[in-house]
Amino acid sequence: MGSLEVELVDPILIAGPTLLGALGSYLLFGAYLIQLYHYILRQTTTTKKDHVGIRCLVAFVTLLEIIAIVMVAENAWTSLVMSIRKPELLTTLSPMAPANPILSATISMSVQCFFAWRIWMLKKAIWDGLMSSVIIAITLVQFGSAIGIAVKFAILNRDIRHFKTLSLAITLHLAANLVCDSLITLSLVSLFKRYKSLSSQTAMKSMLTSFCLNTVENGLVLTICATLNLALFIARPNDMIHTALQLILGRIYANVLVASLNSRNLSSSSEDDMGSTELQSSLHFKTVNLNIHGTLVDCTSTSSRGGPETATAVTLGGNAATQVSSATH
């Protein structure tokens, strides 16, 4: 029965997604290198360098991206070229294939934890901190399930005909990614709306509305990819259509991370050139920088007794930045 199912699988539905996933990975990796170049250039030409932890995160993600793109190329070569001589290689993936889900899950976990940390730094209520913890817990679930997928797939001799036996672990992994990305987007939009409610200025309200829209738009890229990946696997577990999205998902996460850091750096540079307006009246401020899918927010909150709250907004060049200031007398 198993061999009959193999004969019914259209080779195009195996080779095609492999080719599309590889091409998409190369394209996104090229975009990542451009983003990385601008990030390194900024870090080496300014005195406002990122915290060593953020720089280590970028270096770590870059290393994983290099390894991942090599594995994507090796897998494409095996499936599309070597299978001409050995047709069984079309359904039996390369020895490096089981490592792909672990690499992708590690990259997504790193980026999701980064944004969870940003939510924690910007939190205004206890449920913001709770949501940050939930996001970290869910991303650990998707990472753990990816390890399970890799181990089980290796035991099954890397044969895609056995994908169905991995359906529970794969579904858990994809669903956890989807939930995590959705929670990040919803949490950030909620925070922006609450900061917006503190402002009485039209410019500030307009700025925060723009931030909400940008967060939703960028969050949707990851959410849509994760949703399609999950839906395609559930609908077609016997071919590799869903793997085209799985191969590029890690590249998307990496681009989102570095693009957000570059957006912050560009905004900071514009602020140095153009200056900013800030309300000051014997105030004590605590500043937190938040990068969200390409958006910079400098959130400034009071550290003292409570009282009237004010806010100012600054638009810098083509990049948006805002300073939310809570003031006390």
Sheet of strand 319-325: strand arrangement: 285-292, 295-302, 319-325, 312-316
Instruction: Determine the Cα–Cα distance for residues 135 and 119; give it in Å rounded to an integer.
Output: 10
pLDDT value at residue 23: 95
Are 317 and 260 found together in one domain? no
Are 72 and 113 found together in one domain? yes
Are 21 and 150 found together in one domain? yes
The domain of 309 spans: 285-325
Which residues are within 8 A (CB) of 260 and not within 5 positions of it... i.e. 6 or more apart? 291, 292, 293, 294, 295
pLDDT value at residue 188: 82
Quick check: is 279 in a domain? no
Distances (CA, A) of 26 to 19, 32, 60, 72, 85: 11, 10, 19, 9, 25
- Looking at the structure of the chain, the number of domains it has is 2
Specify the DSSP element, H or E, that contains 300: strand 295-302
pLDDT value at residue 301: 41
Quick check: is 204 in a domain? yes
Name residue, tokens 């956890």.
176
Are 182 and 299 found together in one domain? no
3-state secondary structure (DSSP) of residue 196: helix
What does the block give as tokens for 282?
A: 């014997």
What does the block give as tokens for 44?
A: 């080496």
Distances (CA, A) of 210 to 17, 204, 315: 36, 10, 11
Which residues are within 8 A (CB) of 63 and not within 5 positions of it... i.e. 6 or more apart? none
Are 270 and 303 found together in one domain? no
Quick check: is 306 in a domain? yes
Are 263 and 293 found together in one domain? no
Nearest Cα to 108, choosing from 78, 144, 161?
Answer: 144
Instruction: Determine the Cα–Cα distance for residues 226 and 181; give it in Å rounded to an integer.
Output: 9
pLDDT means over runs of 10, the chain (329 residues): 49 86 95 94 86 94 96 90 84 85 94 91 84 95 94 87 83 92 87 74 70 68 86 82 88 89 59 40 35 43 40 34 33
Quick check: is 280 in a domain? no
Q: Which of 274, 293, 317 is the last residue of a domain?
A: 274
User: pTM of the prediction?
Assistant: 0.76
Are 153 and 222 found together in one domain? yes
pLDDT value at residue 213: 66
Are 140 and 19 found together in one domain? yes
Nearest Cα to 119, choosing from 291, 263, 254?
Answer: 291
Are 228 and 304 found together in one domain? no
Instruction: Determine the Cα–Cα distance for residues 112 and 296; give it in Å rounded to an integer.
Output: 17
129: Cα separation from own chain's centroid: 20
Q: Dihedrals φ, ψ of 223, to 5°?
A: -65, -45
pLDDT value at residue 219: 75
Are 223 and 101 found together in one domain? yes
Q: Report DSSP letters for 86-144, one per residue.
A: -GGGGTB--TTTTHHHHHHHHHHHHHHHHHHHHHHHH--SHHHHHHHHHHHHHHHHHHH
